[in-house]
Amino acid sequence: MPVELDPLLFGEIDPPQRLLMGPGPVNAHPRVLRAMSADLLGQFDPEMTGYMEQVMALYRPIFGTQNRWTMLVDGTARAGIEAALVSLVAPGETVLIVNFGRFGLLLTEILTRIGARIETVEAPWGEVVPLAAIEEAIARTSPRLVATIHGDTSTTMAQPLEGFGALCRAAGALSYVDATATIGGMELAADRWDVDVVTGGLQKCLGGPSGSAPITISDAAAEHIFARRHTEAGIRMKGLEDGQGPRIASNYFDLAMIMDYWSEKRLNHHTEATSMLYAARECARVALGEGLAARYDRHTRSGRAMAAGLRAMGLTVFGDDAHRMTNVTGVHIPDSVDGEAVRAMLRVSFEIEIGTAFGPLQGRIWRLGAMGYNAMKHKVLITLGALEASLRAHGFVLPLGQAVPAAIEAWDSAGVGETA
Amino acid sequence: MPVELDPLLFGEIDPPQRLLMGPGPVNAHPRVLRAMSADLLGQFDPEMTGYMEQVMALYRPIFGTQNRWTMLVDGTARAGIEAALVSLVAPGETVLIVNFGRFGLLLTEILTRIGARIETVEAPWGEVVPLAAIEEAIARTSPRLVATIHGDTSTTMAQPLEGFGALCRAAGALSYVDATATIGGMELAADRWDVDVVTGGLQKCLGGPSGSAPITISDAAAEHIFARRHTEAGIRMKGLEDGQGPRIASNYFDLAMIMDYWSEKRLNHHTEATSMLYAARECARVALGEGLAARYDRHTRSGRAMAAGLRAMGLTVFGDDAHRMTNVTGVHIPDSVDGEAVRAMLRVSFEIEIGTAFGPLQGRIWRLGAMGYNAMKHKVLITLGALEASLRAHGFVLPLGQAVPAAIEAWDSAGVGETA
C-alpha cells in the first residue's frame, strides 16, 4: 500500500548514523557533503564554467589520462555506462564483452537494447578472463568495440587491464572499461592501458553520493563520436556541422552534445547538476590531496586486513585470491547460520551494513567493502569485531578474539602497497 | 586549452552569492542545500526505502494526482523527459507533438532518436496551441501518444491543459506533459487534466538543484510500460514475468525497471542518488509546508510585478499576455542597447543573473525569472532597480524611478491569485 502523506510532512531529514561496509554506496566524506551545501550558479556563469574546467583537470589524474574529454555525465554510474555504449556503438555493430560477473551481464543488457551484435568471452564468477582468451576472442569476432568491467563487485574480482587496450587497438577496435567500483580506490591508468573510454561513479571509493558519473574519452573515441553528431534543431549554431555517422539513439546520453556542452562552445544540453558537480569536484580534491598512491595503498591494506580477519574467524574468502579487488571482499556464509539474520543483527545492534549478493551467489556469500572514507583501519576492525559477535550470537563456533589482531597485523605489515 | 591542474587543487568551493533571476536554474532554498549534507544510507536500508516511500507521497499533491507511480528519475529534468518517452513509445509508433517553442523541438529531437513517427501541431513562438487545433490534429494523425510542454521557458508561454487529457483518451492515445518549468510554481493537475505521464525537475520553481526528475505515471500508462518489461539477466526473480511488448530501448530510462525498484519488490536497478533524493524530499516539504495555493499565488504576484515594472520602464513584454507563465517573463531588448552588455553589468555590478534566449529569440528578448525561493517581492524589486540602472548606464532613455513602485502596486493588488 502506498504511504499516506503525513500531516507533519515526515519530519526533518535525519538518517541513522550507519557505517556502510558493503559494496557501495558507502558513507560520503564530510567535506563532500558540505560542498553540496554551496549556493547554486547559473549554468553559463563564468564561475560555473570555471568549476567545470576544474573538474576536467581534477579527474584526469584519477583516470590516469591526459584526455581532453574528461568530465561528468549527470546520472548514476549506470548512466555513464549507457552514455559510453550508446555513443560508441550503432545498431548492428559487433561488441565483444569480457564478462565475469553481474556487471558484465549489465553491459550485455544495455548493448542488446542498443541493437549491437553481441559476442562474449567469459570467466566463471570468482575468476577473471585471461588476456590470451581476450586476444583469441578479438581475433574470432572482429569487434568494433571491446567492453569490460575493471572491478565487478558482484564477484569481487578485478580484471587485469595491462595490455588490454593495445590488443583492441591492434585489431582496429575501440575499448571501454567500467571502473565504477574501482575509481579512487584502485589505480586507473587509461593512457597506459591504452583504453578509449572509462566511466566511474562517486558512491564507492571516491567517497561521494551516487548521482554523477565521471567519464574520460580518448581523442580517437571522441572523433568516432563526433562523426555521429546531430545537434538539436532548437540550438544549432554555425561551425557545428552534423556528422555523417548514424545518429546516437539517445539525446540525454549523446556524448557529442555533452562534449560540446563541456567545450568552450558551451552548447546548451541538459542543465548541469550543480550540487553533484560540487560533490564530484570535492571527491577529487580529497583524493588528490591525500595522494593517489597513498589512497590506493590504504585500500589495499583495508582489503588485506578484512580478508585476514575473516580467515582468522575460520571463514572462507570467496574467489581467486590473485585477482580480488582490494576494496570489497566476498566471504562464504557458513552453512550453519542464516545470512540475513546475521546481517540484520549487524544493522540493528551495531549500525553496520554489509552486503548480500546477486544471482548465483545470493545467499552464498556476504560482501564486505572498505571503500573511500570507510577504507580505514578502525572501521575494518570495528566491522570484524561486530561480525564475530554476531556470528557467535547465531551459534557459529569460531575462535574468539582472533580476527581483530589478525587484521591489525595484516594492516601493519610492510610492503603492502606502493607507499608502504 | 584545457585548464592545468592547480597545485592547490583550486581551493575550497566558494561560489559568488549571485541572485539567479533567469529562466532557471535558480538559487536553491537553504533548507534544500542543508538536507543534502545528511549522511548517506545503503540503498535497501529500511530508512532509505522509507524515504523513498515518503518522496512518493510528497510528490502526489505537487503533481495533483493520486497515481501510485510517483517517484524520481535520477538525472536532470531532461532525463525525466527521455525516460517517459522511451518507455511509452516504441519505434514506428505515431506521436503527436504539441509544439510552441524550443522544448517542443526537444520532444521532436528525442522522439526522432527513439524512432517514432512524428506529427506536430504548432503555434508561433509567443503563442499557445488552441485546444481545437489539438483535437483536429489528433483526429488527423491517430497518435499513440500526444506529448506537450506545460510551460516552455524559451517563449515564456504556458499551454492550457484543461480538457487536454480527455481529448487524448477519447482517441485512444496516451498523453505526456513536460512540466519542468512549472512544477511547484504553477498548478499541476495530472488527475483533473486526465494526463498519463508528467515529469519535472527541481531547479526551477521547486527551488532545488538540477539532477533529479520527479515523474508521475497513471495506472493505464504503467500497464502499457509493464507490458514492455524485460528484467536484466543478472537479477531476474520469480513473479516478474517479461512482457510481450517491444523491449524499451534504454536500460537506464526503463520505467518498468525503475517502478520495480521503487516498488516493494525493490528490484536492483541504478543506485539511487541519495543526496538528490534528500534534496527532492526537502523541496517538496518546503512547498507543501508553504501550501501550494499560497505558493502559486506568490509566483503569480512575482510575474505580474515583474511585468508591471518592465512596462513602467517603457519596455515591451514578449508574447501573448493571456498565456504567459507566471514565473518567467520575456521582454524585448531595446534596439539602442547591447543586450549582452546590459546582462554583464547586472552580473558584475549587481551579482544578478537574467536570461538570454534561444533560436529565433536570441538577441531579441531577455528572460527574467522569479522562481521558487526567488519568487519574492524584494528579489523582483531589486532586479527591476538594477535593470533600470543598467539600462540607463547603457544610454537607454527611460522614465526614472517608475519601475519599482509599479511592481509594488502590482504585487499588492488584491485578487491576483487564489489566496490573495
Do the Cβ atoms of B271 and A232 come within 8 Å? no
Instruction: Choose the closest CB to B289 out of A9, A79, A232.
Output: A9
ipTM of the modeled complex? 0.96
Residue A88's contacts (CB-CB under 8 Å, 6 or more residues apart) are A145, A174, A176, A196, A197, A221, A224, A225
Distance from CA of A187 to the nearest CA of B (A): 19
Cα distance between residue B35 and residue B39, in whole Å? 9
Show residues of chain B in contact with A79, CB under 8 Å: 74-75, 79, 252, 270
CB spacing of A76 vs B273 below 8 angstroms:
yes
- Rounded to a whole number, what is the distance in Å from the CA of A151 to chain B's nearest CA? 16
Whether the CB-CB separation of B107 and B97 falls below 8 Å is answered with yes
Query: Helix, strand, coil % (nearest 5) of chain B?
Result: 40, 15, 45
Nearest to A75 among B79, B112, B275 (CB): B79
Instruction: Determine the pLDDT at residue A419.
Output: 38
Interface touch A33/B233, C-beta < 8 Å: no
| Alpha-carbon gap: A171 to the closest alpha carbon of chain B (Å) | 29
Of A248, A253, A282, the CB nearest to B13: A282
What pLDDT was estimated at residue A235? Answer: 67
Q: Which grid cell sits at A396? A: 557459529
Pick the closest to residue A396 from A318, A328, A316 (CA basis).
A316
Residues of A in contact with B47 (CB under 8 A): 15-16
In A153-253 the beta strands, taken as DSSP E runs, fall at 157-158, 174-178, 197-199, 213-217
Q: How far apart are CA B104 and CA B108, in angstroms?
A: 7
Residue A18's closest chain B neighbor by CA? B41
Residue A186: exposed, middle, or buried by beta-carbon count in 10 A (0-12, 13-18, 19+)? buried
**pLDDT tens readout for residues B383-396:** 999 999 999 999 99
CB contact under 8 A, A234 and B359: yes
Output the nine-digit C-alpha cell for A101.
560477473
Q: Tell if the CB–CB gap between B253 and A249 is shorter than 8 Å.
A: no
| Cα angle A17, A385, A396; round to 5 | 120
Partners of B13 on chain A (C-beta within 8 Å) are 35, 38, 51, 278, 281-282
Whether residue B268 and residue A26 make contact (CB cut-off 8 A), yes or no, is: no
> Cα B19 to the chain's mean position, in Å?
19
To 10 degrees, the CA torsion angle through B128, B131, B132, B138? 100
- How far is B413 from chain A, CA to nearest CA, in Å? 31
From B20, B105, B270, residue closest to A40, measured CB to CB: B20
Query: For residue range B78-119, what is the model confidence (pLDDT) as tens digits?
Result: 999 999 999 999 999 999 999 999 999 999 999 999 999 999
Q: In chain A, what are the domains?
A: 30-287 (3.40.640.10), 291-412 (3.90.1150.10)
* Side-chain half-sphere CA neighbours of B347 within 13 A: 19
Residue of B nearest to A201 (CA): B271
Residue with cell 572509462: A198
Strand segments (E) across B321-362: 328-332, 352-353
Chain A CB contacts of B110 below 8 Å: 251-252
**Are A9 and B288 a contacting pair at CB < 8 A?**
yes
Give the tens place of pLDDT for each residue, B54-67. 999 999 999 999 99
The three-class DSSP label of residue B33 is helix
Dihedral of alpha carbons B257, B260, B261, B265, sign: negative
Q: Which residue of chain A has the CA closest to B116? A: A249
pLDDT score of B187 more than 90: yes
Q: How many CA atoms lie within 13 A of A210 on its CB side?
A: 26
- Spatial CA neighbour of B191 closest among B65, B69, B63: B65
Q: What pLDDT does B268 receive?
A: 87
Query: How far off is chain B from A396, nearest CA to CA, in Å?
Result: 25
CB-nearest partner of B270 from A54, A76, A279: A76
CA torsion sign for A180, A278, A230, A197 is negative
Q: Say which residue the cell 493537475 belongs to.
A: B189
Nearest chain A residue (CA) to B233: A105
How far apart (Å, rounded) are the C-alpha atoms in residues A56 and A68? 8
Q: Between A and B, how many residue pairs show a Cβ–Cβ distance under 8 A? A: 316
Cα dist from A169 to A82, A135, A142, A185, B369, whole Å: 22, 11, 11, 27, 50
Nearest Cα residue to A149 out of A188, A192, A117, A118 = A188
For residue B345, give the C-alpha cell. Answer: 553589468
The pLDDT tens digits along chain A (420 residues) read 678 888 789 999 999 999 999 999 999 999 999 999 999 999 999 999 999 999 999 999 999 999 999 999 999 999 999 999 999 999 999 999 999 999 999 999 999 999 999 999 999 999 999 999 999 999 999 999 999 999 999 999 999 999 999 999 999 999 999 999 999 999 999 999 999 999 999 999 999 999 999 999 999 999 999 999 988 766 666 667 788 889 999 999 999 999 999 999 998 899 999 999 999 999 999 999 999 999 999 999 999 999 999 999 999 999 999 999 999 999 999 999 999 999 999 999 999 999 999 889 999 999 999 999 999 999 999 999 999 999 999 999 999 999 999 999 999 995 554 433
**Orientation of helix B292-312 relative to helix B274-290, angle to 10°:** 80
Euclidean distance between CA atoms B47 and A15, whole angstroms: 7
Q: How far is B313 from chain A (nearest CA, A)?
A: 26
Contact B38 A13 (CB under 8 A): yes
Question: How do strand B197-199 and strand B174-178 relate by DSSP bridges?
Answer: parallel
Are B76 and A45 a contacting pair at CB < 8 A? no
- Computed over every residue of chain B, the mean pLDDT equals 95
Q: Do A74 and B211 touch (CB under 8 A)?
A: yes
